Structure 1
Amino acid sequence: MPTLGTPLTPDLITPGSCWQLLKDLNGYARSRGEGLATQAAAGRCFRVITPVNKLGTTRIRVQLLEDGYPCWLNVADLAGQARTTTPPRPRLMSSDAIAARIPAVLAWLKVAAARPNDYLWGGTLGPDLDCSGLVQCAFASAGIWLPRDAYQQERFCEPVAVRPGNDQLLRPGDLIFFGRPQRCTHVAIHLERGRYMHSSGREHGRNGIGIDSLHPSDRHPVASHYRAELRGAGRIMRCHDGTTLP
């Protein structure tokens, strides 16, 4: 077993071993192909799920430990760019502590929106982000880890009642969820009075981060599209403990 801080080499990648990234990396959806699932910033930790195949495996399946998210990492990208570590301790944070950090989350959003950006499926590093990547990055900037995907974030929240034109129960920093009756497919962060910030694709009239409203008076194509797909809202009351899949 290598000592803590040992640089990663392919022969040290064993199932169950834990590593900390020294550079930003892409996390892929499958063992082959270009489909991005997520991105992991330098400093994040992962646990190896599958071993390296000596006969030519180019990717390993891992679990990112801050949010429990599984993905595939390129072995070549990891060489010398990670070091052994111990699993992070569970993060216990009260709902009051989370509420106190919401202004920092919203301040991060303002900066992110001011940078040139495009919508990127799987984008979690910035400036190019997808909808749930924007949400996860915003909260992580304040030390609050959430699950990675929109449907996971919906399950993670405490529900808050909302409907188009009626947002009285929403607070700044609440999450708003959109999609089909069967599944949440999009998420945004509530700002105030029904206005929300999110990252959306060009197929609905924008390509990147923007602000829209739940109120019918907002006739922008993006606002109209998502208002018709409103599922509900939720409040972040806890921090992901970093030990289990969401």
Structure 2
Amino acid sequence: MNLEQMLPSSASGEYICLKDLDLYSSSKCSSLATQAASNRRLRILSNQVQQEAIEVCLCEDDYPSWLKVEETIYLKPSLEKYQLVNFSHHQIQALLPQVINFTHQSMEVANYYLWGGTVAPNYDCSGLIQAAFSSVGIWLPRDAYQQQQFAEPIPKDELQAGDLVFFSKTPNKITHVGLCLGEGRYIHSSGREIGRNGIGIDELSPDADEVSRAYYQQFHSGGRIVQSYQPTGKKWSRA
């Protein structure tokens, strides 16, 4: 099956999502990789359909994934390519209270941890962080390890509200991320195994409750967002 027979061509090579869309980690579409909120942009990597899905890449964060062919009816050709909005470090600092407020408001709505979730109300850890920053126009890479590579490293004793905290189950792979609130606290969407199955606030301390202690033992590093992600036009290689 050839996609060109089903989807109008786009002069810019990009498409606008007309509704929130689920995107998958493989052409089998059995495991959620991420989500594309309404009005996000994507480009199609191949016109060849595999197992009723097509490979796509989100324009704002270069994130590759698979879209069910039946969902292509919710794509509209974009007349222009995605345009990056640049932010200075000072502008980002001024927007951090709104970023933090987004996470608090998200916590107040009934939610649960969703692997691959980037659209309200259910998020995974990096999905919540990406959504919070994108709510003010600042884009971060999609996954926690990508966000850690993108952020400016910050020592733990210099962390401020709006910085990111990264966690790792093994020394070589970042597996979790949260947003600093100040005074040793951070907000994050954590899973069922050692977390809260949704958005909650924990302390970066070995003397707090069981969940906080478990994550404290996995603390890896801190990071500060000093710029908005600049798309390269090349897809990330998912680890």
> Which TM-score applies when normalising by structure 1?
0.88
Once the two structures are TM-superposed, the CA of residue 63 in structure 1 deviates from its matched residue by: 0.8
Structure 2 unmatched runs, 5+ = none
State the distance in 2 between where 1:205 and 1:176 align: 15
- Residue from 59, 75, 83 that aligns with 1:82: 75
**Equivalence for 2:43:** 47
Aligned length: 230
Once the two structures are TM-superposed, the CA of residue 78 in structure 1 deviates from its matched residue by: 1.5
State the distance in 2 between where 1:227 and 1:13 align: 50
**Equivalence for 1:24:** 20
| 1:82-134 deviation per Cα after TM superposition (whole angstroms, max 9, x unaligned) | 21112212332111111110011011111001001000000000211000000
Letter in 1 for 2:77: T
Once the two structures are TM-superposed, the CA of residue 11 in structure 1 deviates from its matched residue by: 4.3
Indicate conservation of the 8 Å contact 2:58/2:64, yes or no: yes
Structure 1 unmatched runs, 5+ = 1-7
State the distance in 2 between where 1:123 and 1:223 align: 22
State the distance in 2 between where 1:114 and 1:9 align: 45
Once the two structures are TM-superposed, the CA of residue 13 in structure 1 deviates from its matched residue by: 5.8
SS at match of 2:201: strand
**Equivalence for 1:173:** 162
**Equivalence for 1:66:** 60
CA RMSD of aligned residues (A): 1.9
| Structure 1: 4+ residue segments shifted above 6 A | none
Indicate conservation of the 8 Å contact 2:8/2:77, yes or no: no
| 1:208-244 deviation per Cα after TM superposition (whole angstroms, max 9, x unaligned) | 01111112221x2211111011110000000012344
State the distance in 2 between where 1:183 and 1:9 align: 42
Matched, 1:196 2:189: no
Letter in 2 for 1:46: L
Indicate conservation of the 8 Å contact 1:112/1:127, yes or no: yes
SS at match of 2:46: coil
- 1:105-184 superposed matches below 5 A: 105-162=99-156, 167=157, 169-179=158-168, 180-184=170-174
**Equivalence for 2:223:** 234
State the distance in 2 between where 1:199 and 1:12 align: 38
Indicate conservation of the 8 Å contact 1:88/1:242, yes or no: no
State the distance in 2 between where 1:212 and 1:152 align: 23
Identity %: 42
- 1:200-239 superposed matches below 5 A: 200-218=190-208, 220-239=209-228
| 1:162-211 deviation per Cα after TM superposition (whole angstroms, max 9, x unaligned) | 1xxxx3x1111100000120110000000011100001111104210111
SS at match of 2:213: helix
